[in-house]
Homo-oligomer: A and B are copies of this chain.
Amino acid sequence: MPTEQLQAAIDRLESLDTAGLFESDFLLSWDKSEAELRAVLATAQLLKELRDRGISPRVFDSGLALAIFRDKSTRTRFSFLSAGNLLGLAVQDLDETKTQIAHGETVRETANMISFLTEVIGIRDDMYLGVGHTYMQEVSAAVREGHREGVLPRIPVVVNLQCDIDHPTQSLADLLHLSRVSGGLEALAGKTIAMSWAYSPSYGKPLSVPQGVIGLMSRFGMNVRLAHPEGYGLIPEIEQRAARQAAASGGSFVKSSSMAEAFEGADFVYPKSWAPYAVMQRRTELLRQGDQKGLEALEVEALATNRRHIEWECTEELMKSTRSALYLHCLPADISGVSCERGEVQASVFERFRLDTYREAGFKPYVIAAMMFLAKLRHPARVLRQILERAAPLQL
């Protein structure tokens, strides 16, 4: 990208109304306006472009970015870490080994105790239905009270690194990937994306990836198809929201109970396993009760149910029925014959798109950095111009 193009991109960012992002949390993509989402994507691209040119977009001289991971994670952890580092923040994990589900007093107090020099709090809490999003709201309310009451000099913003409802850093990275391969967000209107359940020899994968995808892609005029076996539906309100959003954006939202149907003529396919909503509800209850036996019984049952849908696999055959579709995945994928006997995708399909999925993942650090940037800087375009002029080298 030549410098004039970079400057033009900054101008375009400035024309968007991003005031609502300043000092705001990023919890659910559908709480953000279209302009705000566009601003996140534009900023992510600008930050990536600057770094690729060897220009450091560091904006903080000190400060902490806290990572609270209530579930294992490698890629999102490193994406958050990279984003914080890029902007000059030291990333620190908060290890919450004490209580599985912390409540009330503890959250309120702890959130303040760790935030005296904190700018951003990234949270992953996706294991329990009805918990993750609520927890993020509790943390946010706690630090905002702290700021209001003179405990914290600055407002630490919360970034959702995956909850029970949404996974916005993933879906926005996915969207940026689609936008880049298609020649811009506008080019996505009228395109068809198939978000399909796929078989996996495990159970209990969160619903937030498919929910995040249909909740986001339905806002850009795309035809969104959601396919899954009976009983594997998503949170009903989110499906309804996707339908409303698709209608409003000039796209469509169609449900199907066949991967083949969903793939037919699709431009993008996203075959991925998730747990049935009802199973997740029972699992949440059992985990809450610490009922180990119940959990084991549920696993046996859920795996047996899964196995009845072993044919839900993204095969070469199915790919042929698409419009030379791009394969998407949040990784790691369950690859038949590679990471498991039978999984979400045939090995040859995955291998053909492997590097594409890496590139897709590569946007995540920049999407997170963009969320931080827009939440912490009142005049993001102005600061980006400063960064460009300053041209501090990433490396001597």
Chain B residue with minimal CB distance to A390?
Answer: B396
Contact with B along A84-127 (1 / 0, CB 8 A): 01111011101000000000111001101110110100000000
Chain B residues positioned under 8 Å from A359 (CB to CB): 150-151
Known contacts: A90-B90, A105-B335. The answer to whether A62 contacts B52 by CB under 8 A is no
Binds B, one of A71-79, A155-163, A183-191: A71-79
| Contact across chains for B110 and A74 when beta carbons are under 8 A apart | yes
Contact partner, A117, options B86, B117, B392, Cβ 8 Å: B86
Contact call B113/A82, Cβ cutoff below 8 A: no
Contact B392 A396 (CB under 8 A): no
- From B56, B114, B386, give the contact of A61 (CB < 8 A): B56
Residues on the B chain within 8 Å of A377, using CB: 395-396
Q: Is the CB of B62 within 8 A of A362?
A: no
In the complex, A387 has a CB within 8 A of chain B: yes
Say yes or no: A78 contacts B361, CB within 8 Å: no
Q: How many A residues have CB within 8 A of the partner chain?
A: 64
For residue A304, CB closer than 8 A to chain B, the reply is no
Cβ–Cβ contact B110 & A82, under 8 A: no
**B62 near A88 (CB under 8 angstroms)?**
yes
Knowing A92-B78, A151-B359, A339-B105 are in contact, say whether A61-B113 is a contact too (CB < 8 A).
Answer: no
A383-B114 Cα distance, complex, nearest whole Å: 28
Q: Which of B78, B86, B91, B117 contacts A365 (CB 8 A)?
A: B117
Q: Which of A366-381 contact B (CB under 8 A)?
A: 376-377
Q: Quote the shortest CB–CB distance from A188 to chain B (angstroms).
A: 21
Q: Which residue of B lies closest to A366 (CB)?
A: B116
How far apart are the CA atoms of A350 and B193 in the complex, in Å?
A: 54
Closest Cβ–Cβ distance, residue A51 to chain B (whole Å): 7
Enumerate chain B residues within 8 angstroms of A117, measured Cβ to Cβ. Answer: 51, 82, 85-86, 365
0/1 string, A305-341, CB within 8 A of B gives 1: 0000000000000000000000000011001001100
Q: Is A205 interfacial (CB 8 A cutoff)?
A: no
A94 to B73, CA, bound (A): 11
**Given the contacts A81-B92, A117-B86, A377-B396, A56 and B64 also touching, CB distance less than 8 Å:** no
Which chain B positions have C-beta within 8 A of A335?
Answer: 105
* Given A52-B153, A90-B85: A358 touches B78 (CB 8 Å cut-off): no
Residues from chain B with Cβ under 8 Å of A94 in the complex: 74
- Closest residue to A104 on the B side, CB-wise? B338
Q: Which of A349-364 contact B (CB under 8 A)?
A: 354-355, 358-359, 361-362
B85 touches A395 (CB 8 A): no
Could you give 7 example pairs across A and B, Cβ below 8 Å?
A52-B153, A58-B61, A61-B392, A63-B85, A116-B362, A116-B365, A146-B358
Of all A-B residue pairs in the complex, the 9 with the closest CB atoms, nearest first, are: A56-B61, A82-B117, A59-B396, A151-B358, A75-B113, A78-B114, A52-B153, A149-B355, A85-B90
What 16 new A-B contacts, CB under 8 Å, besides A85-B90, A85-B117, A151-B359? A60-B394, A62-B85, A63-B394, A64-B85, A81-B92, A105-B338, A105-B339, A106-B339, A109-B354, A109-B358, A112-B358, A116-B365, A119-B395, A146-B355, A149-B355, A150-B359
